[in-house]
């Protein structure tokens, strides 16, 4: 048929269109299906690639490596088929095969991965998928690292949450499995959690999103993967707010521990809620200004004192004072000295003779968190006949079984209580306190974030820890931190006797170790762990 005969079938008003082009359509980069340029996702149901998220929403980071504090390599990966705010976890590992030959040992390392998306897990167990899923491939090519967030114990102590919530958050934060809260994207964070069937890696995702519309008030939404799939608005009813999970409180505490984050998430920190309301005094900038005020009051006194001594003037005794916080810092330092790895963990009671006013301030700290003054667990009257001073006295005893409360009682700005202390072993078998150098957040991410080609050789980790509460799974009765007060040991001076009793345990490479005094003689060399020698052809 002649070309002219075809043109006769085309209407006259379409005769000057020219030949067809691909204008208005585009090819899916993943499956090759042609879609309209205005489409948000591929129309191929089995592909589902997201093309765009609208003008206001930018694509999320594909894969981010999580800081685990160990050789475990975990990644937060975006689920492309569900949108920018849906993420899953991928675990990468290396399996080794060793072959003995005449020339030596040959080690072959093979990369392996596991995707925790339910559909991918199911397909992998059934052997349906021969190649790695898209999530594992994204993790293998990952270049981004999560940003760890700081969590201050003072902020956690002051947060208006139940003691059980604070205790659980503190336990998760002190586990050697990386930071409690890590930031993945602008809105999404990864939080440590108790390992379960749903969250077998011990991590989950949370998101904090604020949407602003032209006519209505800003809408704040929080979601945690431990909950059912629904958004939680911060201006919702108190009944709904009361259901906020422990991971929400962990994130809120991390936000309030950093000045920049506190400003960015101020709407979540200051919303009207009895279940998670944070006082404005908790924000870091207030704490900083408070510390500056304190230091500003102390420095002139010290400077003037030094100036008087240089001029040969006598020191004014009225100016020599000891504040309650200075004294309390000395108590905390005594506890630190006592928690030494070289000893059995059952020290003699620490004894202090202090004025009644100091103990009144200490008792006020003991009662923080309760509406009334906390009464002692026991009150005992005894007669002292075999030691001075002689007479009848009363002894008041408090048992503290919450490690967070112990820290709240003893923390001072100059001397925070160290719940754990690290040590190194000398060549003569003695132990010496190890102070880890202060590291910036960025360098922590670099240390734990890089992919290790060889296993990391870690030094022997020796630690002591305060035994407060239940510190072992089979423990039935909690171990108390005991505070005893005997008033009027010196009745005219109003001086009483304070006794502090506590126990501490030993950790060796992250495991609880029984105390054993096995220091070798000085002339006997220490036994070192054997080294593995690998030869290659």
- Can you give the residue ranges of every domain in the chain? 23-52, 63-145, 148-285, 325-513
The answer to whether 64 and 445 are in contact (CB under 8 A) is: no
Q: How many CA atoms lie within 13 A of 230 on its CB side?
A: 7
Query: What average pLDDT does range 339-351 have in this prediction?
Result: 93
Beta pairing partners, 100: 105
> Quick one: DSSP state of residue 531?
P
Backbone φ and ψ of 172, nearest 5°: -65, -40
pLDDT at site 327: 94
Of 286 and 159, which is predicted with more confidence? Answer: 159
Beta pairing partners, 394: 381
- Give whichever of 69-78, 291-300, 344-353 has the largest mean pLDDT: 344-353
- Give whichever of 143-147, 293-297, 303-307 has the largest mean pLDDT: 143-147
**Rounded CA gap, 529 and 535, in Å?**
19
Helices (H) and strands (E) in the chain — how many of each? 14, 23
**Rounded CA gap, 307 and 259, in Å?**
38
Of 258 and 94, which is predicted with more confidence? Answer: 258
Q: Could you tell me the pLDDT band of residue 75, with boundaries at 50, 70 and 90?
A: very high
What percentage of the chain exceeds 90 in pLDDT? Answer: 23
3-state secondary structure of 323: coil
The answer to whether 175 and 212 are in contact (CB under 8 A) is: no
Query: What average pLDDT does range 406-423 have in this prediction?
Result: 91
Q: Which residues, 6 or more positions from 183, have their beta carbon under 8 angstroms from its beta carbon?
A: 146, 147, 149, 189
What is the pTM (predicted TM-score) of this model?
0.43
pLDDT at site 113: 80
389 cis-preceded (ω within 30 degrees of 0): yes
Query: What average pLDDT does range 261-286 have in this prediction?
Result: 58
Query: What average pLDDT does range 446-473 have in this prediction?
Result: 66
Query: What average pLDDT does range 314-340 have in this prediction?
Result: 90
pLDDT at site 107: 63
Beta pairing partners, 233: 221
What is the pairing mode between strands 431-433 and 378-384? unpaired
pLDDT at site 277: 43
Q: Could you tell me the pLDDT band of residue 120, with boundaries at 50, 70 and 90?
A: confident
Q: Helices 403-410 and 163-174, interaxial angle, to 10°?
A: 90
**Rounded CA gap, 457 and 12, in Å?**
81
What percentage of the chain exceeds 70 in pLDDT? Answer: 67
**Rounded CA gap, 471 and 469, in Å?**
6
**Rounded CA gap, 339 and 423, in Å?**
10
- Average of per-residue pLDDT values in the chain: 75
**Rounded CA gap, 66 and 63, in Å?**
10
pLDDT at site 353: 95
Q: Could you tell me the pLDDT band of residue 439, with boundaries at 50, 70 and 90?
A: very low
Query: What average pLDDT does range 50-71 have in this prediction?
Result: 68
pLDDT at site 26: 84
Backbone φ and ψ of 395, nearest 5°: -120, 125
Backbone φ and ψ of 170, nearest 5°: -65, -40
pLDDT at site 441: 40
The answer to whether 509 and 488 are in contact (CB under 8 A) is: no
Query: What average pLDDT does range 163-183 have in this prediction?
Result: 86
Q: Could you tell me the pLDDT band of residue 500, with boundaries at 50, 70 and 90?
A: very high
Whats the size of the chain, residue-wise? 537
Of 137 and 465, which is predicted with more confidence? Answer: 465
Q: Which residues, 6 or more positions from 105, have their beta carbon under 8 angstroms from its beta carbon?
A: 98, 99, 534, 535, 536
Of 114 and 122, which is predicted with more confidence? Answer: 114
pLDDT at site 9: 64
> Quick one: DSSP state of residue 439?
-
Q: How many CA atoms lie within 13 A of 397 on its CB side?
A: 11
Predicted confidence (pLDDT) at residue 60 exceeds the cutoff of 80: no
Q: Which residues, 6 or more positions from 365, have their beta carbon under 8 angstroms from its beta carbon?
A: 408, 409
How distant, in Å, are the alpha carbons of 339, 398, 404, 481, 499 from that of 358? Answer: 24, 16, 22, 19, 14
CB atoms < 10 A from the CB of 144, how many? 15
CB atoms < 10 A from the CB of 191, how many? 28
Q: Could you tell me the pLDDT band of residue 454, with boundaries at 50, 70 and 90?
A: very low
Of 173 and 284, which is predicted with more confidence? Answer: 173
Q: Could you tell me the pLDDT band of residue 106, with boundaries at 50, 70 and 90?
A: low
Query: What average pLDDT does range 22-38 have in this prediction?
Result: 82
Predicted confidence (pLDDT) at residue 524 exceeds the cutoff of 60: no
**Rounded CA gap, 35 and 43, in Å?**
7
**Tokens, residue 482:** 């005991």
Q: Which residues, 6 or more positions from 440, have their beta carbon under 8 angstroms from its beta carbon?
A: none
């Amino acid at each position: 048929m002649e070309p002219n005969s075809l043109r006769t079938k085309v209407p006259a008003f379409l005769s000057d269109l020219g030949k067809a082009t691909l204008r208005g359509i585009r090819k899916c980069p993943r499956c090759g299906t042609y879609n309209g340029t205005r489409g948000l996702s591929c129309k191929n149901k089995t592909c589902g690639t997201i093309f765009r998220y609208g003008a206001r929403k930018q694509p999320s980071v594909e894969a981010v490596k999580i800081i685990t504090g160990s050789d475990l390599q975990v990644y937060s990966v975006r689920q492309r088929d569900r949108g920018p705010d849906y993420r899953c976890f991928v675990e990468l590992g290396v399996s080794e095969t060793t072959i003995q030959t005449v020339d030596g040992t040959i080690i072959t390392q093979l990369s392996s991965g596991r995707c925790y998306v339910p559909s991918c897990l199911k397909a992998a167990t059934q052997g349906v998928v021969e190649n790695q899923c898209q999530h594992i491939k994204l993790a293998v090519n990952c270049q981004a690292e999560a940003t760890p967030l700081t969590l201050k114990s003072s902020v956690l102590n002051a947060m208006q949450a139940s003691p059980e919530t604070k205790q659980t958050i503190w336990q998760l934060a002190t586990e050697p499995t990386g930071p409690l809260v890590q930031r993945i994207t602008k809105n999404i964070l990864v939080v440590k959690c108790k390992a379960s069937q749903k969250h077998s890696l011990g991590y989950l995702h949370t998101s904090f999103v604020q949407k602003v519309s032209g006519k209505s008030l800003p809408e704040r939404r929080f979601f945690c993967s431990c909950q059912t799939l629904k958004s939680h608005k911060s201006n919702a009813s108190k009944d709904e707010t009361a259901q906020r999970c422990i991971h929400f409180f962990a994130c809120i505490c991390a936000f309030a521990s950093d000045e920049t984050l506190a400003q960015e998430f101020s709407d979540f920190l200051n919303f009207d809620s009895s279940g998670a309301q944070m006082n404005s005094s908790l924000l870091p900038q207030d704490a900083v200004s408070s510390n500056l005020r304190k230091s500003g009051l102390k420095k002139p006194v010290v400077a003037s004192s030094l100036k008087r001594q240089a001029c040969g003037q006598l020191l004014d005794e009225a100016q020599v004072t000891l504040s309650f916080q200075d004294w309390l810092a000395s108590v905390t330092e005594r506890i630190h000295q006592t928690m030494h790895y070289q000893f059995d963990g059952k020290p003699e009671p620490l004894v202090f003779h202090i004025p009644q006013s100091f103990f009144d301030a200490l008792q006020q700290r003991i009662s923080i968190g309760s509406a009334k003054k906390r009464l002692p667990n026991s009150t005992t009257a005894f007669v002292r006949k075999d030691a001075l001073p002689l007479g009848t006295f009363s002894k008041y005893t408090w048992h503290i079984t919450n490690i967070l409360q112990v820290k709240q009682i003893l923390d001072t700005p100059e001397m925070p209580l160290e719940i754990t202390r690290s040590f190194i072993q000398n060549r003569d078998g003695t132990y010496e306190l190890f102070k880890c150098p202060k590291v910036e957040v960025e360098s922590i991410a670099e240390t734990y974030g890089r992919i290790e080609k060889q296993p990391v050789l870690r030094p022997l980790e020796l630690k002591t820890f305060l035994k407060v509460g239940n510190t072992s799974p089979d423990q039935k009765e909690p171990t108390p931190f005991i505070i005893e007060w005997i008033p009027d040991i010196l009745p005219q001076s109003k001086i009483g006797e304070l006794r502090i009793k506590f126990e501490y345990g030993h950790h060796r490479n992250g495991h609880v170790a029984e105390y054993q005094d096995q220091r070798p003689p000085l002339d006997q060399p220490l036994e070192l762990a054997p080294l593995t020698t690998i030869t290659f052809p």
